[in-house]
Amino acid sequence: MGYLKNSRSIGNIILLSYRHSFHAGNYADVIKHIVLIEIFEHLIKKDSAFDYIDTHAGAGLYDLQNEHASKLQEYQQGIAKLNGEQWPELATYFEVIAKHNPDGGLKFYPGSPLIALYFLRAKDRSWLYELHPKDADLLSKNMANIKRARVMYEDGFKGLLSLLPPASRRGVVLIDPSYEIKKDYTRVVATLIAAYNKFPTGIYALWYPVVDRTLINGLERKLIHSGINNIQRFELAIAPDQFGSGMSANGMVVINPPWTLKDKMTHILPKLVATLGNEGAFYKCDTLVEE
């Protein structure tokens, strides 16, 4: 599975072509959103308000029958392979999806902004960054008239740091770039360190693709030696590592994870490997840095 990339530059401005609509509902979305939902369920257990910051928010909602999703049909090897009746531990995940498919079936898949909105209360706030002009416009339309959500057509890396620490002093940050530019592998670490220094009690969820394992190994080493404590990793590989053949695995690195997260993913990841994986598929569920 490869991502569609065709970035170009004008002067010092890099124009990215990545559109998540080609990949919505794939196995990467499955693990990313399972982790995110567990974090939200943890946050809403307390009455105090929290902030959600999404640095690469996308369009928010995806039509799985449009020309983009139909081109690659990655959702067929992702969410479409999961039967909600066989996954009682993911009941909330399927409730969120069902909310956006009122006629039943699987026509639409919600992205992280709308998954977050499912959990946000009137006192909570959502800050959504998106740089692709078409997706930013779609995101604005999908979040129209929702006062607790703000959409910004800006660089999410820079925007994140301007918001920290949030007024609520509670929150979760999702960093989910396309990694269309290789320097993103180092930029995410630098951003995480800077964000953690400003808001050390926040929950940070970093998504990464495994296209070149050496890049991920480097990313993890930098995080391990960053001085940040309490870091866990959850990875789903649908095939053995295969350099140059597209994404074969993806994962989530979570800083300050809910205490329930590791136990839940220890149970879920083997089932996801069995359901979504090919021969040689594997998973990782471990602690990179102790609390």
- Tell me which residues are annotated as active site: 176
Rounded to 5 degrees, φ, ψ at 168 are -75, -20
CA distances from 52 to 68, 144, 173 (A): 28, 17, 6
The b-or-e profile of 268-285 (16+ CB within 10 A means b, else e) is bbeebbeebbeeebbbeb
Rounded Cα distance, 116 and 37, in Å: 8
Provide the 10 A C-beta neighbour count for residue 90. 21
51 secondary structure, DSSP code? E
Rounded Cα distance, 218 and 286, in Å: 17
Rounded Cα distance, 197 and 210, in Å: 27
CA distances from 51 to 21, 91, 160, 165, 288 (A): 26, 24, 11, 10, 26
